[in-house]
Amino acid sequence: MEIIMPRSSLSRRKLILLAGGAAAALAVGYLGARKLLDGAGRYASDLAARTRGLGQIKKLPGFVGERPNVVLILCDDLGQGDAGAYGNRTLRTPNIDSLAREGVRFTDFYASASLCTPSRAGLLTGRYAIRSDLIFPVQSGRQPFIGRVLQSVARWLGRRGAFDMTRASFVDGLPDGEITVADALRTAGYRTMAIGKWHLGDFHVEPRYHPLRHGFDEFFGTPNTNDELPNPLYRNETMLEDDIGLDQARLTGMSTKEAVGFIERSGAAQPFFLYLAYHAPHLPLYASARFKDKSKAGIYGDVVEELDWGVGEVLKSLRDKGIERTTLVIFTSDNGPWYNGRPAAERRGRKGQSFEGGFKAPLIARWPGHIPAGSVCAHAAMNIDFFPTLLSLAGLGIPGDRIVDGKNIAGLLTGKEGKTPHDAFFFYHHEQLEGVRAGDWKYLHRVNHYEWPIPLDKPTTFLGMAAQDRFLGSWPNLYNIATDEGENYDLASRHPEVCARLEKIMTAWESDIAENPGGWTGK
Protein backbone atom coordinates (compact mmCIF):
# COMPACT_ATOMS: atom_id res chain seq x y z
CA MET A 1 0.00 0.00 0.00
CA GLU A 2 1.28 3.47 -0.88
CA ILE A 3 0.72 6.22 1.68
CA ILE A 4 0.40 9.61 0.03
CA MET A 5 1.06 12.65 2.19
CA PRO A 6 -1.59 15.36 1.84
CA ARG A 7 -0.42 18.65 0.40
CA SER A 8 -1.04 20.43 3.71
CA SER A 9 1.57 18.28 5.46
CA LEU A 10 4.36 20.12 3.63
CA SER A 11 4.56 22.51 6.53
CA ARG A 12 6.99 25.24 7.41
CA ARG A 13 8.24 23.08 10.26
CA LYS A 14 9.11 20.19 7.93
CA LEU A 15 10.82 22.52 5.50
CA ILE A 16 12.92 23.82 8.38
CA LEU A 17 13.73 20.25 9.40
CA LEU A 18 14.72 19.44 5.83
CA ALA A 19 17.07 22.41 5.67
CA GLY A 20 18.44 21.61 9.11
CA GLY A 21 19.13 18.03 8.10
CA ALA A 22 21.12 19.18 5.10
CA ALA A 23 23.20 21.43 7.34
CA ALA A 24 23.74 18.54 9.74
CA ALA A 25 24.95 16.33 6.93
CA LEU A 26 27.46 19.01 5.98
CA ALA A 27 28.66 19.28 9.56
CA VAL A 28 28.97 15.57 10.14
CA GLY A 29 30.84 15.03 6.89
CA TYR A 30 31.11 11.99 4.73
CA LEU A 31 32.48 9.42 7.14
CA GLY A 32 30.41 10.40 10.13
CA ALA A 33 27.17 10.59 8.17
CA ARG A 34 27.85 7.26 6.63
CA LYS A 35 28.34 5.56 9.99
CA LEU A 36 25.24 7.18 11.41
CA LEU A 37 23.00 6.48 8.44
CA ASP A 38 24.29 3.19 7.15
CA GLY A 39 25.44 1.20 10.14
CA ALA A 40 28.72 0.24 8.51
CA GLY A 41 30.40 -3.06 9.26
CA ARG A 42 27.36 -5.31 9.57
CA TYR A 43 29.03 -8.34 8.05
CA ALA A 44 31.74 -10.71 9.22
CA SER A 45 34.94 -9.73 7.49
CA ASP A 46 37.68 -11.59 9.30
CA LEU A 47 40.24 -13.73 7.54
CA ALA A 48 39.18 -16.67 9.68
CA ALA A 49 35.88 -16.80 7.79
CA ARG A 50 37.73 -17.13 4.48
CA THR A 51 40.10 -19.75 5.88
CA ARG A 52 37.15 -21.72 7.22
CA GLY A 53 35.29 -21.52 3.93
CA LEU A 54 38.29 -22.51 1.84
CA GLY A 55 38.82 -25.49 4.10
CA GLN A 56 35.31 -26.66 3.26
CA ILE A 57 35.85 -26.65 -0.49
CA LYS A 58 36.20 -30.32 -1.33
CA LYS A 59 37.04 -32.18 -4.49
CA LEU A 60 33.97 -33.56 -6.19
CA PRO A 61 33.80 -37.34 -5.68
CA GLY A 62 34.77 -39.26 -8.78
CA PHE A 63 35.75 -36.18 -10.76
CA VAL A 64 37.78 -37.24 -13.79
CA GLY A 65 37.10 -34.30 -16.05
CA GLU A 66 39.56 -32.06 -17.81
CA ARG A 67 40.28 -28.94 -15.80
CA PRO A 68 40.24 -26.10 -18.33
CA ASN A 69 42.24 -22.94 -18.32
CA VAL A 70 39.80 -20.05 -17.88
CA VAL A 71 39.99 -16.61 -19.48
CA LEU A 72 37.19 -14.42 -18.17
CA ILE A 73 36.97 -11.17 -20.14
CA LEU A 74 34.87 -8.54 -18.38
CA CYS A 75 33.99 -5.30 -20.14
CA ASP A 76 32.87 -2.19 -18.31
CA ASP A 77 29.44 -0.77 -19.28
CA LEU A 78 29.30 -2.63 -22.60
CA GLY A 79 25.74 -3.10 -23.82
CA GLN A 80 24.45 -6.52 -24.77
CA GLY A 81 23.62 -5.08 -28.18
CA ASP A 82 27.03 -3.56 -28.89
CA ALA A 83 28.52 -6.63 -30.60
CA GLY A 84 27.69 -7.84 -34.06
CA ALA A 85 26.86 -11.25 -32.59
CA TYR A 86 23.90 -9.56 -30.88
CA GLY A 87 22.67 -7.86 -34.03
CA ASN A 88 24.73 -4.67 -34.09
CA ARG A 89 25.33 -3.47 -37.64
CA THR A 90 27.17 -0.26 -36.79
CA LEU A 91 30.15 -1.45 -34.76
CA ARG A 92 32.76 -3.86 -36.11
CA THR A 93 33.45 -6.63 -33.59
CA PRO A 94 34.81 -9.56 -35.65
CA ASN A 95 36.73 -11.16 -32.78
CA ILE A 96 33.85 -11.10 -30.32
CA ASP A 97 31.61 -12.40 -33.10
CA SER A 98 34.04 -15.25 -33.75
CA LEU A 99 33.64 -16.38 -30.16
CA ALA A 100 29.89 -16.67 -30.74
CA ARG A 101 30.39 -18.63 -33.97
CA GLU A 102 32.71 -21.04 -32.19
CA GLY A 103 30.82 -21.23 -28.90
CA VAL A 104 27.53 -20.36 -27.23
CA ARG A 105 25.76 -17.02 -27.06
CA PHE A 106 23.32 -16.35 -24.20
CA THR A 107 20.36 -14.13 -24.98
CA ASP A 108 18.88 -13.97 -21.46
CA PHE A 109 21.89 -13.29 -19.28
CA TYR A 110 21.95 -10.89 -16.33
CA ALA A 111 24.61 -9.11 -14.37
CA SER A 112 23.89 -9.40 -10.64
CA ALA A 113 23.70 -5.61 -10.32
CA SER A 114 23.34 -2.70 -12.69
CA LEU A 115 26.42 -0.94 -11.28
CA CYS A 116 30.14 -1.74 -11.36
CA THR A 117 31.21 -2.66 -7.82
CA PRO A 118 28.20 -4.76 -6.73
CA SER A 119 28.19 -6.61 -10.06
CA ARG A 120 31.89 -7.46 -9.75
CA ALA A 121 31.42 -8.60 -6.16
CA GLY A 122 28.65 -10.91 -7.33
CA LEU A 123 30.69 -12.24 -10.23
CA LEU A 124 33.75 -13.10 -8.15
CA THR A 125 31.98 -14.48 -5.05
CA GLY A 126 28.83 -16.07 -6.50
CA ARG A 127 26.74 -14.09 -4.00
CA TYR A 128 24.48 -11.09 -4.36
CA ALA A 129 26.41 -7.99 -3.32
CA ILE A 130 23.96 -7.25 -0.51
CA ARG A 131 25.67 -10.09 1.38
CA SER A 132 29.08 -8.42 1.23
CA ASP A 133 27.69 -4.91 1.77
CA LEU A 134 29.13 -3.62 -1.52
CA ILE A 135 25.89 -2.02 -2.62
CA PHE A 136 27.30 1.00 -4.48
CA PRO A 137 30.46 1.74 -6.50
CA VAL A 138 33.31 2.29 -4.07
CA GLN A 139 35.14 5.60 -4.26
CA SER A 140 38.80 6.49 -4.43
CA GLY A 141 40.27 6.37 -0.96
CA ARG A 142 42.06 9.65 -1.68
CA GLN A 143 38.98 11.55 -2.74
CA PRO A 144 39.27 15.19 -1.56
CA PHE A 145 37.47 16.03 1.67
CA ILE A 146 35.13 18.49 -0.01
CA GLY A 147 34.11 15.76 -2.46
CA ARG A 148 33.21 13.46 0.42
CA VAL A 149 31.17 16.16 2.10
CA LEU A 150 29.27 16.97 -1.09
CA GLN A 151 28.51 13.30 -1.68
CA SER A 152 27.27 13.00 1.88
CA VAL A 153 24.86 15.87 1.29
CA ALA A 154 23.77 14.46 -2.05
CA ARG A 155 22.99 11.10 -0.45
CA TRP A 156 21.04 12.78 2.34
CA LEU A 157 18.97 14.63 -0.23
CA GLY A 158 18.75 11.50 -2.35
CA ARG A 159 17.02 9.62 0.43
CA ARG A 160 14.39 12.33 0.24
CA GLY A 161 13.91 11.94 -3.49
CA ALA A 162 16.14 14.63 -4.99
CA PHE A 163 18.93 12.50 -6.47
CA ASP A 164 19.68 8.92 -7.37
CA MET A 165 22.30 8.72 -4.62
CA THR A 166 21.00 7.28 -1.39
CA ARG A 167 23.79 5.37 0.36
CA ALA A 168 27.42 4.51 -0.10
CA SER A 169 28.51 0.92 0.27
CA PHE A 170 28.48 -0.16 3.90
CA VAL A 171 32.13 -1.21 3.54
CA ASP A 172 35.04 0.28 1.60
CA GLY A 173 36.04 -2.89 -0.21
CA LEU A 174 35.64 -6.64 -0.53
CA PRO A 175 35.46 -8.04 3.02
CA ASP A 176 38.25 -10.35 4.13
CA GLY A 177 35.80 -13.17 4.77
CA GLU A 178 34.57 -13.41 1.19
CA ILE A 179 35.91 -16.18 -1.05
CA THR A 180 36.55 -15.27 -4.67
CA VAL A 181 36.58 -17.70 -7.58
CA ALA A 182 40.35 -17.10 -7.69
CA ASP A 183 40.67 -18.12 -4.04
CA ALA A 184 38.78 -21.32 -4.73
CA LEU A 185 40.56 -22.24 -7.98
CA ARG A 186 43.93 -21.91 -6.28
CA THR A 187 42.94 -24.82 -4.04
CA ALA A 188 42.79 -26.89 -7.25
CA GLY A 189 46.27 -25.79 -8.29
CA TYR A 190 45.33 -22.93 -10.60
CA ARG A 191 47.65 -20.02 -11.27
CA THR A 192 45.65 -16.80 -11.16
CA MET A 193 45.97 -13.24 -12.44
CA ALA A 194 43.73 -10.16 -12.42
CA ILE A 195 44.25 -7.40 -14.99
CA GLY A 196 42.64 -4.00 -15.43
CA LYS A 197 39.98 -2.45 -13.24
CA TRP A 198 39.57 -3.89 -9.73
CA HIS A 199 36.98 -1.54 -8.17
CA LEU A 200 36.51 -3.67 -5.07
CA GLY A 201 38.35 -1.36 -2.71
CA ASP A 202 41.13 1.21 -3.01
CA PHE A 203 44.06 -0.94 -1.96
CA HIS A 204 46.42 2.01 -2.33
CA VAL A 205 44.86 3.26 0.91
CA GLU A 206 43.72 -0.07 2.39
CA PRO A 207 46.11 -2.89 1.33
CA ARG A 208 43.69 -5.61 2.52
CA TYR A 209 41.56 -4.93 -0.55
CA HIS A 210 44.40 -5.78 -2.94
CA PRO A 211 43.67 -8.60 -5.43
CA LEU A 212 46.71 -10.45 -4.10
CA ARG A 213 44.85 -10.67 -0.78
CA HIS A 214 41.84 -12.16 -2.55
CA GLY A 215 43.15 -15.16 -4.42
CA PHE A 216 45.21 -13.70 -7.25
CA ASP A 217 48.87 -14.55 -7.70
CA GLU A 218 49.50 -11.61 -10.00
CA PHE A 219 47.90 -8.25 -10.70
CA PHE A 220 48.30 -5.43 -13.17
CA GLY A 221 45.90 -2.52 -13.19
CA THR A 222 44.22 0.11 -11.06
CA PRO A 223 42.23 -0.06 -7.82
CA ASN A 224 39.52 2.32 -9.01
CA THR A 225 37.33 2.94 -12.01
CA ASN A 226 38.70 5.33 -14.61
CA ASP A 227 36.51 8.27 -13.55
CA GLU A 228 37.59 8.00 -9.90
CA LEU A 229 40.82 9.93 -9.54
CA PRO A 230 43.48 9.75 -8.29
CA ASN A 231 43.76 6.23 -9.65
CA PRO A 232 47.22 4.65 -9.37
CA LEU A 233 48.65 1.96 -11.65
CA TYR A 234 50.09 -1.13 -9.99
CA ARG A 235 52.00 -4.24 -10.90
CA ASN A 236 51.37 -6.65 -8.07
CA GLU A 237 52.04 -4.54 -4.95
CA THR A 238 54.41 -2.09 -6.63
CA MET A 239 52.96 1.26 -7.65
CA LEU A 240 54.09 2.19 -11.17
CA GLU A 241 52.23 5.51 -11.36
CA ASP A 242 50.59 7.58 -8.65
CA ASP A 243 47.68 8.52 -10.91
CA ILE A 244 46.83 7.50 -14.47
CA GLY A 245 44.88 10.75 -14.77
CA LEU A 246 43.26 11.21 -18.16
CA ASP A 247 46.08 9.51 -20.05
CA GLN A 248 43.73 6.62 -20.68
CA ALA A 249 43.94 5.92 -24.42
CA ARG A 250 46.67 3.40 -23.54
CA LEU A 251 44.67 1.32 -21.06
CA THR A 252 43.13 -1.27 -23.40
CA GLY A 253 46.47 -1.85 -25.11
CA MET A 254 48.31 -2.17 -21.80
CA SER A 255 45.80 -4.63 -20.37
CA THR A 256 45.85 -6.70 -23.55
CA LYS A 257 49.65 -6.84 -23.53
CA GLU A 258 49.65 -8.04 -19.93
CA ALA A 259 47.05 -10.71 -20.70
CA VAL A 260 49.04 -12.03 -23.65
CA GLY A 261 52.19 -12.06 -21.53
CA PHE A 262 50.46 -14.05 -18.78
CA ILE A 263 49.25 -16.63 -21.29
CA GLU A 264 52.69 -16.91 -22.87
CA ARG A 265 54.27 -17.50 -19.44
CA SER A 266 51.81 -20.25 -18.55
CA GLY A 267 52.97 -23.83 -18.40
CA ALA A 268 51.14 -26.85 -19.75
CA ALA A 269 51.20 -28.65 -16.41
CA GLN A 270 49.37 -25.97 -14.39
CA PRO A 271 45.93 -24.63 -15.33
CA PHE A 272 45.34 -20.91 -15.06
CA PHE A 273 42.55 -18.45 -14.38
CA LEU A 274 42.90 -15.06 -16.07
CA TYR A 275 40.45 -12.33 -15.02
CA LEU A 276 40.81 -9.64 -17.68
CA ALA A 277 38.67 -6.70 -16.55
CA TYR A 278 38.99 -3.99 -19.18
CA HIS A 279 38.33 -0.38 -18.17
CA ALA A 280 36.49 0.15 -21.46
CA PRO A 281 33.98 1.34 -22.48
CA HIS A 282 33.29 3.14 -19.19
CA LEU A 283 33.35 6.94 -19.31
CA PRO A 284 35.55 8.90 -19.93
CA LEU A 285 36.12 7.50 -23.41
CA TYR A 286 39.57 7.45 -24.99
CA ALA A 287 40.82 5.42 -27.95
CA SER A 288 44.40 5.00 -29.07
CA ALA A 289 45.56 6.67 -32.29
CA ARG A 290 45.13 3.45 -34.25
CA PHE A 291 41.40 3.35 -33.53
CA LYS A 292 40.45 6.99 -32.91
CA ASP A 293 37.91 8.33 -35.42
CA LYS A 294 37.81 5.02 -37.26
CA SER A 295 34.36 3.69 -36.30
CA LYS A 296 30.91 4.75 -37.48
CA ALA A 297 29.74 5.29 -33.90
CA GLY A 298 31.86 8.15 -32.59
CA ILE A 299 34.34 7.79 -29.76
CA TYR A 300 32.27 5.06 -28.09
CA GLY A 301 32.49 2.99 -31.26
CA ASP A 302 36.24 3.61 -31.47
CA VAL A 303 36.66 2.34 -27.92
CA VAL A 304 34.55 -0.78 -28.49
CA GLU A 305 36.36 -1.65 -31.72
CA GLU A 306 39.70 -1.35 -29.91
CA LEU A 307 38.29 -3.57 -27.19
CA ASP A 308 37.40 -6.13 -29.86
CA TRP A 309 40.99 -5.96 -31.12
CA GLY A 310 42.17 -6.76 -27.61
CA VAL A 311 39.90 -9.80 -27.49
CA GLY A 312 41.40 -10.90 -30.81
CA GLU A 313 44.94 -10.62 -29.46
CA VAL A 314 44.05 -12.78 -26.47
CA LEU A 315 42.46 -15.42 -28.71
CA LYS A 316 45.51 -15.38 -30.99
CA SER A 317 47.83 -15.94 -28.03
CA LEU A 318 45.80 -19.03 -27.03
CA ARG A 319 46.12 -20.36 -30.57
CA ASP A 320 49.84 -19.63 -30.76
CA LYS A 321 50.37 -21.33 -27.40
CA GLY A 322 48.47 -24.40 -28.58
CA ILE A 323 45.99 -24.26 -25.70
CA GLU A 324 42.90 -23.06 -27.55
CA ARG A 325 41.09 -26.36 -27.06
CA THR A 326 41.92 -26.62 -23.37
CA THR A 327 40.80 -23.10 -22.51
CA LEU A 328 37.32 -21.87 -21.63
CA VAL A 329 36.93 -18.26 -22.78
CA ILE A 330 34.08 -16.23 -21.26
CA PHE A 331 33.13 -12.80 -22.57
CA THR A 332 30.69 -10.59 -20.66
CA SER A 333 30.04 -7.13 -19.20
CA ASP A 334 29.45 -5.89 -15.66
CA ASN A 335 26.10 -4.22 -16.45
CA GLY A 336 24.20 -2.45 -19.19
CA PRO A 337 25.49 0.60 -21.07
CA TRP A 338 25.46 4.09 -19.62
CA TYR A 339 24.95 7.15 -21.84
CA ASN A 340 26.36 5.56 -24.99
CA GLY A 341 25.94 2.01 -26.24
CA ARG A 342 23.06 -0.26 -27.15
CA PRO A 343 21.35 -2.24 -24.38
CA ALA A 344 19.97 -4.72 -26.95
CA ALA A 345 17.03 -4.78 -29.29
CA GLU A 346 13.95 -3.33 -27.57
CA ARG A 347 15.50 -3.39 -24.10
CA ARG A 348 14.29 -0.67 -21.78
CA GLY A 349 16.60 1.11 -19.35
CA ARG A 350 20.33 1.53 -18.88
CA LYS A 351 23.04 1.24 -16.28
CA GLY A 352 21.77 1.93 -12.78
CA GLN A 353 18.22 0.81 -13.49
CA SER A 354 16.35 -2.39 -12.74
CA PHE A 355 14.85 -2.55 -16.20
CA GLU A 356 16.29 -5.16 -18.57
CA GLY A 357 18.68 -2.70 -20.20
CA GLY A 358 20.42 -2.08 -16.90
CA PHE A 359 20.93 -5.70 -15.89
CA LYS A 360 21.15 -7.58 -19.18
CA ALA A 361 24.69 -8.26 -20.36
CA PRO A 362 26.32 -10.20 -23.16
CA LEU A 363 27.58 -13.69 -22.38
CA ILE A 364 29.54 -15.63 -24.95
CA ALA A 365 31.56 -18.71 -24.02
CA ARG A 366 33.87 -20.92 -26.08
CA TRP A 367 35.47 -24.24 -25.13
CA PRO A 368 36.15 -26.35 -28.22
CA GLY A 369 35.00 -29.94 -27.90
CA HIS A 370 32.75 -29.13 -24.95
CA ILE A 371 30.55 -26.21 -26.05
CA PRO A 372 28.78 -26.74 -29.39
CA ALA A 373 29.87 -24.16 -31.95
CA GLY A 374 27.29 -21.62 -33.01
CA SER A 375 24.82 -22.53 -30.28
CA VAL A 376 22.39 -20.13 -28.64
CA CYS A 377 21.10 -20.41 -25.06
CA ALA A 378 17.79 -18.68 -24.38
CA HIS A 379 17.60 -19.78 -20.73
CA ALA A 380 18.11 -17.18 -18.00
CA ALA A 381 21.35 -17.05 -16.02
CA MET A 382 23.33 -14.49 -14.00
CA ASN A 383 26.99 -13.67 -13.42
CA ILE A 384 26.81 -15.08 -9.86
CA ASP A 385 26.68 -18.44 -11.65
CA PHE A 386 30.32 -18.22 -12.73
CA PHE A 387 31.55 -19.09 -9.22
CA PRO A 388 29.88 -22.50 -8.79
CA THR A 389 30.22 -23.30 -12.50
CA LEU A 390 33.97 -22.74 -12.69
CA LEU A 391 34.48 -24.59 -9.42
CA SER A 392 32.57 -27.57 -10.76
CA LEU A 393 34.63 -27.59 -13.98
CA ALA A 394 37.75 -27.66 -11.80
CA GLY A 395 36.34 -30.60 -9.84
CA LEU A 396 35.43 -28.60 -6.74
CA GLY A 397 32.34 -28.22 -4.61
CA ILE A 398 31.21 -24.94 -3.11
CA PRO A 399 32.05 -23.86 0.47
CA GLY A 400 29.44 -25.01 2.96
CA ASP A 401 29.85 -22.25 5.53
CA ARG A 402 27.97 -19.65 3.47
CA ILE A 403 25.06 -19.32 1.08
CA VAL A 404 26.19 -19.22 -2.54
CA ASP A 405 23.41 -17.66 -4.58
CA GLY A 406 24.78 -18.69 -7.97
CA LYS A 407 23.97 -21.98 -9.68
CA ASN A 408 26.04 -24.35 -11.76
CA ILE A 409 25.25 -23.55 -15.41
CA ALA A 410 27.76 -25.93 -16.99
CA GLY A 411 24.79 -27.76 -18.52
CA LEU A 412 23.56 -24.56 -20.14
CA LEU A 413 27.02 -23.87 -21.55
CA THR A 414 27.30 -27.32 -23.09
CA GLY A 415 23.66 -27.59 -24.13
CA LYS A 416 23.08 -30.66 -21.97
CA GLU A 417 20.43 -28.92 -19.85
CA GLY A 418 17.31 -27.23 -21.14
CA LYS A 419 16.16 -24.92 -18.36
CA THR A 420 17.53 -22.38 -15.92
CA PRO A 421 18.52 -23.75 -12.51
CA HIS A 422 17.17 -20.60 -10.83
CA ASP A 423 13.74 -20.28 -9.28
CA ALA A 424 14.12 -16.51 -9.08
CA PHE A 425 16.46 -13.62 -9.89
CA PHE A 426 16.55 -10.53 -7.66
CA PHE A 427 17.08 -6.96 -8.81
CA TYR A 428 18.70 -4.57 -6.35
CA HIS A 429 19.07 -0.81 -6.70
CA HIS A 430 21.78 -0.04 -4.18
CA GLU A 431 20.49 -1.58 -0.93
CA GLN A 432 16.86 -1.60 -2.08
CA LEU A 433 15.29 -4.73 -3.55
CA GLU A 434 13.22 -3.40 -6.43
CA GLY A 435 12.14 -6.50 -8.30
CA VAL A 436 12.17 -10.21 -8.93
CA ARG A 437 11.92 -12.47 -11.94
CA ALA A 438 10.47 -15.97 -11.72
CA GLY A 439 10.00 -17.84 -14.96
CA ASP A 440 8.85 -15.42 -17.66
CA TRP A 441 7.33 -12.97 -15.17
CA LYS A 442 9.28 -9.95 -13.99
CA TYR A 443 7.78 -7.99 -11.12
CA LEU A 444 8.95 -4.51 -10.14
CA HIS A 445 7.62 -3.45 -6.77
CA ARG A 446 8.93 0.03 -7.40
CA VAL A 447 11.64 1.40 -9.64
CA ASN A 448 13.99 4.29 -9.17
CA HIS A 449 13.86 5.82 -12.63
CA TYR A 450 17.05 7.90 -12.19
CA GLU A 451 15.76 10.30 -14.80
CA TRP A 452 13.10 13.06 -14.92
CA PRO A 453 10.93 13.24 -12.90
CA ILE A 454 13.28 11.89 -10.26
CA PRO A 455 11.55 13.28 -7.15
CA LEU A 456 8.03 12.66 -8.38
CA ASP A 457 8.02 8.93 -9.01
CA LYS A 458 9.09 7.86 -5.50
CA PRO A 459 5.98 8.03 -3.33
CA THR A 460 7.86 7.00 -0.18
CA THR A 461 10.29 9.93 -0.29
CA PHE A 462 9.73 13.35 1.20
CA LEU A 463 9.59 15.12 -2.16
CA GLY A 464 7.56 12.38 -3.78
CA MET A 465 4.88 12.56 -1.09
CA ALA A 466 4.84 16.34 -1.21
CA ALA A 467 4.35 16.31 -4.99
CA GLN A 468 1.56 13.73 -4.97
CA ASP A 469 -0.61 15.57 -7.46
CA ARG A 470 2.12 15.33 -10.07
CA PHE A 471 3.01 11.71 -9.39
CA LEU A 472 3.46 9.97 -12.74
CA GLY A 473 4.37 6.42 -11.77
CA SER A 474 2.15 3.43 -11.20
CA TRP A 475 3.32 0.58 -8.98
CA PRO A 476 3.79 -2.30 -8.99
CA ASN A 477 4.68 -3.24 -12.58
CA LEU A 478 4.46 -6.73 -14.06
CA TYR A 479 5.96 -7.77 -17.38
CA ASN A 480 6.06 -11.01 -19.33
CA ILE A 481 9.65 -11.06 -20.54
CA ALA A 482 8.95 -13.86 -23.01
CA THR A 483 6.47 -11.74 -24.97
CA ASP A 484 7.58 -8.24 -23.96
CA GLU A 485 11.33 -8.11 -23.39
CA GLY A 486 11.19 -4.33 -23.73
CA GLU A 487 9.00 -4.04 -20.61
CA ASN A 488 6.58 -1.86 -22.53
CA TYR A 489 3.26 -3.23 -21.30
CA ASP A 490 2.41 -3.38 -17.62
CA LEU A 491 0.19 -6.39 -16.84
CA ALA A 492 -0.09 -5.89 -13.08
CA SER A 493 -3.79 -5.04 -13.11
CA ARG A 494 -4.56 -8.02 -15.32
CA HIS A 495 -2.67 -10.58 -13.22
CA PRO A 496 -2.98 -9.60 -9.54
CA GLU A 497 -2.44 -13.22 -8.49
CA VAL A 498 0.98 -13.24 -10.17
CA CYS A 499 1.86 -9.96 -8.47
CA ALA A 500 0.85 -11.41 -5.11
CA ARG A 501 2.97 -14.53 -5.66
CA LEU A 502 6.06 -12.55 -6.68
CA GLU A 503 5.60 -10.02 -3.89
CA LYS A 504 5.56 -12.96 -1.49
CA ILE A 505 8.85 -14.21 -2.96
CA MET A 506 10.40 -10.78 -2.49
CA THR A 507 9.11 -10.49 1.07
CA ALA A 508 10.50 -13.90 2.01
CA TRP A 509 13.86 -13.06 0.45
CA GLU A 510 14.10 -9.74 2.28
CA SER A 511 13.17 -11.45 5.53
CA ASP A 512 15.97 -13.99 5.07
CA ILE A 513 18.46 -11.24 4.26
CA ALA A 514 17.41 -9.23 7.31
CA GLU A 515 17.82 -12.28 9.54
CA ASN A 516 21.15 -13.38 8.10
CA PRO A 517 22.64 -10.59 5.95
CA GLY A 518 25.95 -12.30 5.24
CA GLY A 519 24.41 -15.66 4.47
CA TRP A 520 26.53 -17.56 6.98
CA THR A 521 25.32 -21.12 7.57
CA GLY A 522 27.24 -21.77 10.80
CA LYS A 523 28.87 -24.91 9.42
Which 3 state secondary structure label does DSSP give 513? helix
Question: Which letter, b or e, does each residue of 200-229 get, where b requires 16 or more Cβ atoms within 10 Å of its Cβ?
Answer: bbbbbeeeebbbbbbbbbbbbbbbbbbebe
20-74 pLDDT, tens digit each: 444 443 333 333 333 333 333 344 458 899 999 999 999 999 998 889 999 999 9
pLDDT, averaged in runs of 10, over the chain (523 residues): 33 38 39 36 67 95 93 98 97 98 98 97 98 94 85 80 76 96 98 98 98 98 95 98 97 98 94 98 98 98 98 98 98 96 90 95 98 98 98 98 98 97 96 96 84 54 63 80 95 97 98 95 84
Q: What share of the chain is helix, strand, coil (3-state, %, to 5)?
A: 35, 15, 50
* Whether residue 199 lies in the annotated active site: yes
Q: How far apart are the first and last CA of the chain?
A: 39
Helix (H) or strand (E) holding 63: none
CA–CA distance, 140 with 117 (Å, rounded to integer):
12
pLDDT given for residue 11 in this prediction: 40
Residue spans of the domains in the chain: they are: 67-423
Quote the radius of gyration of the chain (alpha carbons, Å): 23
pTM of the complete model: 0.90
Any catalytic annotation for residue 75? no
- φ/ψ of 113, rounded to 5, equals -160, 160
Q: Are the beta carbons of 88 and 342 closer than 8 angstroms?
A: yes
**Taking every pair of C-alpha atoms in the chain, what is the biggest distance, in angstroms?**
74
| Euclidean distance between CA atoms 495 and 500, whole angstroms | 9
Question: Which CATH code for domain 67-423?
Answer: 3.40.720.10
Taking phi over 0 as left and psi of -120 to 50 as alpha, with beta for the rest, 300 belongs to alpha
- Give the pLDDT confidence of 279-316 residue by residue, as tens digits: 999 999 999 999 999 999 999 999 999 999 999 999 99
Partners of 201 in the β-ladder: 173
* Angstrom distance (rounded) from CA 461 to CA 468: 11
Query: Which one of the listed residues 75, 116, 377, 499 is annotated catalytic?
Result: 116
| Three-state DSSP string of 155-192 | HHHHCCCCCCCCCCCCCCECCCCCCCHHHHHHCCCCEE
Continuous H helices in 64-179: 94-102, 116-125, 145-158
pLDDT tens digits, residue range 180-207?
Answer: 999 999 999 999 999 999 999 999 999 9
